[in-house]
């Protein structure tokens, strides 16, 4: 047993739902107890879908346990096919049904369902999670329905991996489809998102595949490579450099392709403009799914000029590439699905900004660190109405805005330094463009407003082995803007500890500042 409050991924059958809900003309018959329909809410509420997910749950109850559950499953299959008339169905079990051993796949295959393809899913609920469920489901569908065929006359590709409930999948697909069109490459089939089973059957006509989301499309991409002779792109086009690399890959796969226009790309100039100078060396911590974290790390370091001070992912399937990527940044990757471990790592790294998931947003809130969301799992506000891809050139523009927004703007940061003793304009008031109530500054005799988190830990909490701050030095530390104060405290303490200094004075603080100057 593992004690868990918060889980980054749902169970694997939720991944299968993401594939079914992303597609059209496919129905999922899920052997599951009453109550498992809660997952519908993820699609109807978080993604704001305007129809029910194409999932029939058998919703068995205690009184059905025994031989009855198998009949329930068969009836559910027949009713679903009669009512929804899908082109194909996928069948499987949720974690509870896995325990009662009804074998949905075996049962459905022996039934007369009018000859439509029945694809059985084996999703081990007690070992694997949501992303595996999506990847495996899509792979089984492709393996069952796709066949080798003549290539289209014009250069075409398939886009693989976008699903229901995917972080920005809707707009990424639009953006990359546009980018490919600009290069003279048409999209043959985009799947699972938007595809029908008969579209899957046409996948073989494409010249190559674009793998947008390795987490949910890699198994299918590999199968297509082996069975349909289609190479697939290895670079995920997120960020300017990665998009240019992706373009080069596509040009190698489609010899007639032309270079796309970069007229609408604004990130490079925005990052070069003088107001962005203050971004230089800002320490960021990245966490999320491996694909988004690895892409974000490159953007952070090479395109925004940040320093990546920690990175990791929650999906173990990608631990190896993640570790290799982290090495390039001189870091050890954090591979965990325990948010408390992530919280500890963030406290230790003391970053100035977190790029993560919904959980890291809350961790950031608790510790008083700005945060932007770069990866699922996300809440309803990250399924925006406006066009917001994170891939391609417009995606780069979106990323620049999204990441800079939580930070204090350059000029503002500068003024805070100048007027750090100001009575109205001080760090406790927070960034001017965020909803926060202006707090009047306490005079030096009164207590300063405390910000939560590690920035203001009590002496008692910091343990006896820590050096002591003299009152004057503590007061001086309070004058340092809040967004660097935590780091200044740590730097000063380790500087003092290294030199055997037991009491930190104002001088020690400035000695350390000079030592660590960047």
Partner 1 sequence: MTQMPPPPATGCSATPVLKQRGQREVFCGLTGIIWLHRKMQDAFFLVVGSRTCAHLLQSAAGVMIFAEPRFATAILEETDLAGLADAQDELDAQVAQLLARRPDIRQLFLVGSCPSEVIKLDLARAAERLSVAHAPHVRVLNYSGSGIETTFTEGEDACLASMVPVLPETDARELLVVGALPDVVEDQMLGLLRDMGIERVRCLPARRADDIPSVGPNTVFALVQPFLGETLAALTRRGARHIPAPLPFGDEGTTAWLQAVASEMGVAPARFAEVTDAPRARARRAIAAATETLNGKSVFFFPDSQLEIPLARFLTRECGMTAIEVGAPFIHQSIVGPDLALLPEGPTISEGQDVDLQLDRARAARPDLTVCGLGLANPLEAEGLTTKWAIELVFTPVHFYEQAGDLAALFARPLRRKAKLRLEAAE
Residue from 20, 21, 28, 60 binding partner 1 (CB under 8 A): 60
402 binds partner 1 (CB under 8 A): no
SS (H, E, C) 63-78: HHCCCHHHHHHHHHHH
Is residue 166 part of an annotated ligand binding site? no
Q: What is the DSSP string of 280-325?
A: TT-EEEEEESHHHHHHHHHIIIIIS--EEEEEEES-GGGHHHHHHH
The 132-171 contact track toward partner 1, x by CB under 8 A, reads ----------------------------------------
Task: Determine if 362 is a binding residue for partner 1 (CB under 8 A).
Answer: yes
Binding-residue pattern over the window 425 to 444 for partner 1, x denoting contact by CB under 8 A: --------------------
* DSSP conformational letter for 247: H
Residue 2 touching partner 1 (CB under 8 A)? yes
Q: Taking the alpha carbons of 110, 111, 117, 120 in that order, is the dihedral positive or negative?
A: negative
Residue 103, annotated as binding a ligand: no
120 DSSP β-pair partners: 91
Interface with partner 1 includes 33 (CB under 8 A)? yes
202 neighbors 121 (Cβ within 8 angstroms) = no
Q: How far is the CB of 442 from partner 1 (least distance, A)?
A: 27
Complex with partner 1: residue 38 or 517, whichever CB lies closer: 38
Q: Where are the beta strands (DSSP E) in 129-288?
A: 156-160, 186-191, 208-211, 231-232, 283-288
Cα 310 from Cα 297, distance rounded (Å): 9
Residues of this chain, 296-335, that bind partner 1 according to CB under 8 A: none
Q: Does 51 bind partner 1 (CB under 8 A)?
A: yes
Does residue 127 touch partner 1 according to CB under 8 A?
yes
The reply to whether omega before 108 is within 30° of 0 (cis) is no
Q: Which residues of 207-221 are buried (b: 16+ CB within 10 A; e: fewer)?
A: bbbbbbbbbbbbbbb
Span interacting with partner 1, options 88-96, 326-334, 465-473, 509-517, rule CB under 8 A: 88-96
Verify binding: residue 414, partner 1, rule CB under 8 A: no
Question: Residue 73 burial by CB count (10 A; 0-12/13-18/19+): exposed, middle or buried?
Answer: buried
452 binds partner 1 (CB under 8 A): no
Q: Which stretch binds partner 1 (CB under 8 A): 40-48, 182-190, 201-209, 291-299?
A: 40-48
Among 62, 460, 514, 517, binds partner 1 (CB under 8 A): 62
Choose one: 7-15, 190-198, 263-271, 474-482; the region binding partner 1 (CB under 8 A): 7-15
Which residue in 244, 344, 366, 478 binds partner 1 (CB under 8 A)? 366
Min CB(57)–partner 1 separation in Å? 6
Position among 28, 57, 167, 454 found at the interface with partner 1 (CB under 8 A) = 57
* Ranges assigned E (strand) in 192-266: 208-211, 231-232
Q: Which of 21, 125, 196, 230 binds partner 1 (CB under 8 A)?
A: 125
- Binding of partner 1 at residue 68 (CB under 8 A)? no
Q: Residues 78, 95, 307, 516: which binds partner 1 (CB under 8 A)? A: 95
Question: 228 among the known binding-site residues?
Answer: no
> Least distance to partner 1 from the beta carbon of 36, Å?
7
The first and second tokens of residue 17, run together, are 């739902």
* Residue 427 among the catalytic residues: no
Closest CA to 162 of 133, 146, 138: 138
**Rule CB under 8 A: is residue 386 a binding residue for partner 1?**
no
Nearer to partner 1, 172 or 215 (CB): 215
Q: Which of 20, 39, 93, 206 binds partner 1 (CB under 8 A)?
A: 39
Adjacent-strand bridge partners of 495: none
Residue 474 Ramachandran class (φ > 0 left, ψ -120 to 50 alpha, else beta): alpha
Q: In terms of residues, how long is the chain? A: 518
- Binding to partner 1 by residue 24, rule CB under 8 A? no
Is 356 one of the binding residues for partner 1 (CB under 8 A)? no
CA distance 125 to 330: 35
Calpha distance 56→78 (Å, rounded): 11
Bond into 125 cis (ω within 30): no
What kind and span of H or E run contains 353? strand 353-356
Q: Is 385 in the site for partner 1 (CB under 8 A)?
A: no
Question: Which residue is catalytic, options 68, 71, 79, 275?
Answer: 275
Q: Give the bridge partners for 159, in sequence order.
A: 190, 210
Q: Which is nearer to partner 1, 98 or 394 (CB)?
A: 98
Residue of 497, 501, 499, 494 lying closest to 516 (CA atoms): 494
* Active-site amino acid positions: 275
| Binding site residues, partner 1, CB under 8 A | 1-7, 9-11, 13-14, 33-42, 44-45, 48-52, 56-62, 64-65, 76, 79, 83, 94-96, 99-100, 125-127, 129, 362, 365-366, 379
Binding site, annotated residues for substrate: 410-411
């Amino acid at each position: 047993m593992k004690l868990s409050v918060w889980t980054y991924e749902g169970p694997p059958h939720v991944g299968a739902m993401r594939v079914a809900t992303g597609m059209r003309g496919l129905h999922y018959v899920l052997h599951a107890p009453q109550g498992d329909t809660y997952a519908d809410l993820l699609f109807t509420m978080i993604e704001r879908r305007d129809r029910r997910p194409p999932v029939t749950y058998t919703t068995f109850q205690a009184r059905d346990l025994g031989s009855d559950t198998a009949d329930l499953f068969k009836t559910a299959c027949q009713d679903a096919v009669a009512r929804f008339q899908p082109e194909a169905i996928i069948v499987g079990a949720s974690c509870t049904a896995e325990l009662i051993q009804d074998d949905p796949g075996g049962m459905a295959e022996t039934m007369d369902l009018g000859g439509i393809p029945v694809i059985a899913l084996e999703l081990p609920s007690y070992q694997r999670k949501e992303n595996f469920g999506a990847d495996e489901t899509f792979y089984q569908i492709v393996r069952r329905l796709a066949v080798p065929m003549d290539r289209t006359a014009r250069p075409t590709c398939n886009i693989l991996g976008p699903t229901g409930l995917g972080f920005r999948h809707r707009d990424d697909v639009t953006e990359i489809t546009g980018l490919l069109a600009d290069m003279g490459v048409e999209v043959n089939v985009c799947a699972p998102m938007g595809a029908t089973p008969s579209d899957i059957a046409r996948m073989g006509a494409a010249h190559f595949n674009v793998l947008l989301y390795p987490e949910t499309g890699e198994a299918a991409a590999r199968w297509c490579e082996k069975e349909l002779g289609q190479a697939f792109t290895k670079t995920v086009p997120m960020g300017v450099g990665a998009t240019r690399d992706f373009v080069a890959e596509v040009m190698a796969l489609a010899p007639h392709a032309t270079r796309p226009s970069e007229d609408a790309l604004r990130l490079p100039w925005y990052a070069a403009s003088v107001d962005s100078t203050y971004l230089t060396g800002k320490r960021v911590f990245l966490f999320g799914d491996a694909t988004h974290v690895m892409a974000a790390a490159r953007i952070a370091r090479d395109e925004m000029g940040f320093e990546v001070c920690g990175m990791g992912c929650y999906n173990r399937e990608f631990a190896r590439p993640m570790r290799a990527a982290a090495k390039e940044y001189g870091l050890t990757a954090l591979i965990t699905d325990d948010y408390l471990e992530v919280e500890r790592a963030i406290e230790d790294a003391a970053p100035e900004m977190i790029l993560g998931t919904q959980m890291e947003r809350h961790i950031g809130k608790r510790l008083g660190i700005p945060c932007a969301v770069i990866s699922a799992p996300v809440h309803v506000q990250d399924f925006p109405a406006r066009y917001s891809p994170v891939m391609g050139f417009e995606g780069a523009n979106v990323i620049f805005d999204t990441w800079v927004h939580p930070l204090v703007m350059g000029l503002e940061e500068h003024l805070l330094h100048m007027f750090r003793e100001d009575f109205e304009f001080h760090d406790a008031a927070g960034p001017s463009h965020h909803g926060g109530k202006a707090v009047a500054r306490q005079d030096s005799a009164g207590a300063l407003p405390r910000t939560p988190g590690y920035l203001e830990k009590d002496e008692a909490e910091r343990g006896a082995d820590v050096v002591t701050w003299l009152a004057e030095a503590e007061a001086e530390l309070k004058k340092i803007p809040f967004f660097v104060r935590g780091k200044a405290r740590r730097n000063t303490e380790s500087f003092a500890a290294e030199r055997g200094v037991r009491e930190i004075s104002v001088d020690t603080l400035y000695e350390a500042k000079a030592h660590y100057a960047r």
